[in-house]
Structure 1
Amino acid sequence: MSLSARQRVLAVAGITLAGLLAGAVPAATAQSVAAAPDIPVANVKQHLADLQSIASANGGNGGNRAHGRAGYKASIDFVKAKLDAAGYTTRIEQFTSSGSTGYNLIADWPGGDTNQVLMAGSHLDSVTSGPGINDNGSGSAAILETALAVARTGYQPTKHLRFAWWGAEELGLVGSKYYVNNLPSTERAKISGYLNFDMIGSPNPGYFVYDDDPTIEKNFKDYFAGIGVPTEIETEGDGRSDHASFKNVGIPVGGLFTGASRTKTSAQVQKWGGTATAFDRCYHSSCDTTTNINDTALDRNSDAIAHAIWNLSSGTTTPPTGTVFENTSDVSIPDNGAVVTSSVNVTGITGNAPSDLAVGVDIIHTWRGDLVVDLIAPDGTVYNLKPYSSSDSADNVQTTYTVNASAEVANGSWSLRVQDRATYDTGYINSFKLTFP
């Protein structure tokens, strides 16, 4: 997990964030779900032992698997060989960061609806100071073994399955950003969900679930509830791992985490056991070796990954339907200036607006945290979509919000109101639309 100076935080007040790019398919609803297999933790640990051996053979002081180092390329080759032998279609993406060549590994399981893609990913690189077995051999090994379980069982899901191992995450999510930024918008729209696994075997573990797409979140929470393990919402690493690259373009995301350098509270010790010390005392250190893994946490999280992948890939998705009112005229947003609006005139809709009004927002801006975004109903009622957040350093606001507007008469002029409340960054409203079921 990379340590960013500015953590990306997207807080939404008073509404549910659907987490979708405008026009993209929503998160899956499980139907006719096949039972997920148990993921043998011994197999996951063997992958970790192999990654440790690769690190030890590359570099001094215990070695590493960092971007631009021989240990990283050897890690990519190791995972690729396993997947090729299991029948996956694999490809390696190359990019450049800090003057060195980086690599992403993308693996597709043949079959399934390629217009509905469920992805699972982990970063495979370590920091230069250690072998990176918990961060993030743990996530990488778990999704590798889950992918191999798909092949062993001959699983044929409704959706298309894609697994990914990212490079240069520790340098600022470089590999996953490269993948997403080079993915055509038509291909982005086919991704029904991205699941991220970064540090899932911390030696003093907590059980954290990403608070993002509600369907993905529920799948993980249901699994842990079923085995009697309480969970908490993940806050330590929000925006610091590869899910942010997908979330920033409106793709639904979710994931698991067992904690990094933050100290486990006494209440969390009561809940999960362990000690009131760091979740991972070897975070980004040379001691992040195979001895730095909690087997129980690794086992539980590996099984939770399989549970979610089987559930979410077995369902179907339905594109948004209904009557669309859209304004595609550009509206410039002044830097640290006055509010601006983009409006649509809704006509021909009987009665009130729905409780799940889809509000499609496409704002191009170089620092979206500067922006406050509101939906204004015909009677002047304000629905806040996005508050100001100085730490939200990503570009653009491109997503679909779901608003309970059932108290409003549908017909009339609805507006998207935007204000830039800080200096130095600029942008414009590219489009605004409302979709009535």
Structure 2
Amino acid sequence: MGLKNVINIEQKQVISTQQQQSLNILSMTNVELFDFLEKQSEENPVLEVESKWIEQKKLDAFNQVVDKAITLEEYLIGQIDVERFTHHEINLLHILIKMIDSQGFLKENESELLKILAVDDVTLYRLLYYIHHLDPIGVGSSNFRECLKFQLDAKGLLDEVLERMIDFYLEALTKGNFGKVAKELGISTVQVKSYYQLIKVLNPKPGNGFGIKDEQYITPDLVLNLTNDGYELILERQSLPQVTISTYWEHMMKEAQNDDGAKAYLESKWQAARKLVQAVEERKKTILAVGHFIVERQYLYFKTGNSKYIKPLKLKDIAEAIGVHESTVSRAVNTKYLLCSQGIYSLKYFLSTAIGKKDTQLAGNGMENVSKESIKEHLRELIENENKAKPLSDSKLQVKLQEMGFEISRRTVVKYREELNIGSSFQRGTLHV
């Protein structure tokens, strides 16, 4: 093998190693990157991480605030399965989650929630049921008793006896009055104690253990501000420390001039630190570039807050626009968040598939194709505004959507309706008989 080939192979290996490090850093959440940078700064004297950030991190540890203990709101929003809901429903879930207090409870009653969300009771029940079964189970319950029952039900343990114990006998159980409870429930004391053991291991306050909402070190990756002439998109600077090459390393190199071992060691550390700084900067640039493309594509949504304006967007679209591989974009949108006037959203929230549109009704908005979620939102509105005494059949819904310009089959109408958890016209009509 010639010397030239050896050099080319080595160069490719170096580039591959650098690229791999950049991709790994891009994949990390802010919390993971915090830990990684701190460890690297401890091992590499040439690498300098902002001292103010390190002090804050140590203070957080002293106060037993775990970095991974993000706010309850962020944790719940991050669990939402965006493929399961329309954008409108996701926004409703966001509203409900924002109303959950620090202990994990949603204190507003059903009538208040119906008024706030402007939905029917079936929709409200479905959204609340979904939230109650996020992690931690029972979050969003109206009180701790309801929360305990959700947890037992999720484990398949809830029965009539446990329900009565939770509703009427918790105080007696905590005082050890097992005989009295056994007598009134008509079961043995052994059974009472067995049931009580099941209750004791439950979490009566699902919000405990999560960060406070205004903790400064818990921040989104990007912040969007709409202006009179457009928008401003910035990286949240407090989310990451400043990482630089130590200015003291040159002094250390001079002192090591007569020590080949020390000099080689410092050279290797300098190279490692330089590559790490470059990788962190590349991470910032990539996330910002992806964010700009998303905001520009979905600008009407950010401006109006109406999910009808969510446009189709794929990883490939972003990758081609900013000149990177799809896998890079995938890493950039995964576990990265954007703060806007509508709330905090995962960047993945704005990715959706395209459906053809054959007329020019929305051509002024550049929407030759629309997202699946947008069509589902139109379908939902058609059903919400139908004559409740004469619900629209799937065929009639298909016709109305086609009149709006959407190229959609009856089978697809049925599929979308079922994804929205909306019954057939017969079922909807029966509900209003």
TM-score range, shorter chain: under 0.3
For CA contacts below 8 A with separation 6 or more, give which structure has more relative contact order. Answer: 1
- Richer in strand (by share): 1
- Richer in helix (by share): 2
